[in-house]
Amino acid sequence: MKAARLHGENDLRVEDVPDPEAGPGEAVVAVHASGVCPSDIRSYTGSGAAKRAPWTPGHEVAGVITELGDGPTGGFSVGDRVVLDWRQVCGRCHECTRGAANFCENLVKLPIAGFAESTVIPVGQLHAVPDGLSLSAASFCEPLACVVNAHRGMAMPPACDVLVVGAGPIGLLHTQMARARGARVIVTDMKTDRLAIATRLGAHDVVDAGGDTRAEVRALTGGRGADVVIVTVGAPAVIASAFGLAARNGTVNLFAGTHPKGVVELNPDVPHYDQIAITGSHDFIPHDFATALRLLRFGMVDAAPLISHRFSLDSVADAFETTRRQKGLKSLIVTGS
């Protein structure tokens, strides 16, 4: 079969590799849709890319089962449409038993290798894609699960003011999630085309980040600022500015890590006197993945408007370059609907 292989920095090649085979308790899945994630781009452009070379990236994957190994099948059959969860948790360690399986002490990061014609995975990591949901949309389960994890840790009373900083694919997932929870949603970004999509997906107001964002957000919130600020941009200057956008007794969620790594200076009087809670969120627990699938299934989150580019596997390098240059929104490698 064909697979994209990362050989080093900016060196992604489509090559012939052996077909995967299902071992006991495993399934071979024909990949129909695989999303390009910013973490894929960091692997692609990073100076350490050659350390693992050659290898096949890709972890936002949906497809169809073509083979099942011996042993338990998890109720799946050949021909079933599925989406893949790459984080295999033990369910027994301290972190898992306290409900924080995203920090599982025995976590196995399965090498899904989604930018390939097929891949193999334990059946326990599969979720059935319901009728009526496209495999392209289902491939958003992984990033949406990360968004769900963030929202589990944030109080968001009905009609509260939520500001989403950044209208990329993740920011637009947060926009829809906050809207589904009954919030009044404001979105800010530098790109007017992205703000237009935010409005289409339910944002009540949008703010061009090229202007005086703080003044505009304050004007939209009665001078108070947003009750919840979700920062989806991993730039220290943007993160630092978020605290001036939050209302007293509000919350600032730092959803994005900094890339390249940086430091944010914070006056401790801001969280102290204004009683602003600072939260973070990392990856997801298995229930978040299942919840993400339900959000997509029942239309509470619409992934279709986020897909700006579709590429064949042979054009995977073009997909990476498109994402790297922040053209459009989400690039998918697709072989089916």
The domains of the chain are located at 2-145+284-334, 154-280
Instruction: Give the start-end residues of each E strand in 149-264.
Output: 161-165, 184-189, 205-208, 226-231, 246-254
Q: What angle do CA 222, 238, 262 make, to 5 degrees?
A: 150
pLDDT score for 47: 60
Q: Which CATH number fits domain 2-145+284-334: 3.10.450.240, 3.90.180.10, 3.40.50.300, 3.30.43.10?
A: 3.90.180.10
The number of C-alpha atoms within 13 Å of 129 and in the hemisphere containing its C-beta is: 27
Residue with tokens 């064909």: 2
Average pLDDT for 70-87: 96
260 pLDDT higher than 90: no
pLDDT score for 337: 47
327 pLDDT higher than 90: yes
pLDDT score for 333: 97
Reading the block at residue 192, the tokens are 């007017």
SS3 state of residue 64: strand
49 pLDDT higher than 70: no
**Cα distances (Å, whole numbers) of residue 120 to 145, 205, 230:** 21, 44, 35
SS3 state of residue 162: strand
pLDDT digit string, tens, across residues 157-176: 999 999 999 999 999 999 99
Q: What percent of the chain has pLDDT over 90?
A: 91
* End-to-end Cα, the chain, rounded Å: 20
**Lowest-confidence pick of 48-62, 99-113, 148-162, 266-280:** 48-62
- The DSSP secondary-structure symbol of 299 reads T
191 pLDDT higher than 70: yes
pLDDT score for 21: 96
50 pLDDT higher than 70: no
Q: Which CATH number fits domain 154-280: 3.40.50.970, 3.40.50.720, 3.30.200.20, 1.10.260.40?
A: 3.40.50.720
Reading the block at residue 313, the tokens are 């596997």
Q: What is the mean pLDDT of the chain?
A: 95
Nearest alpha carbon to residue 241 among 225, 224, 221, 220:
225
pLDDT score for 53: 81
Nearest alpha carbon to residue 143 among 37, 43, 230, 62:
37
pLDDT score for 336: 60
Reading the block at residue 45, the tokens are 């452009």
pLDDT digit string, tens, across residues 204-252: 999 999 999 999 999 999 999 999 999 999 999 999 999 999 999 999 9
Residues forming a β-bridge with 309: 331
pLDDT score for 156: 96
SS3 state of residue 320: helix
Q: Which residue has the higher pLDDT, 19 or 257?
A: 19
Contact by Cβ (8 Å): 278, 254: yes
pLDDT digit string, tens, across residues 3-34: 999 998 899 999 999 999 999 999 999 999 99
Reading the block at residue 27, the tokens are 């399934």
Nearest alpha carbon to residue 100 among 85, 90, 110:
90
> φ and ψ at 121, to 5 degrees?
-155, 150
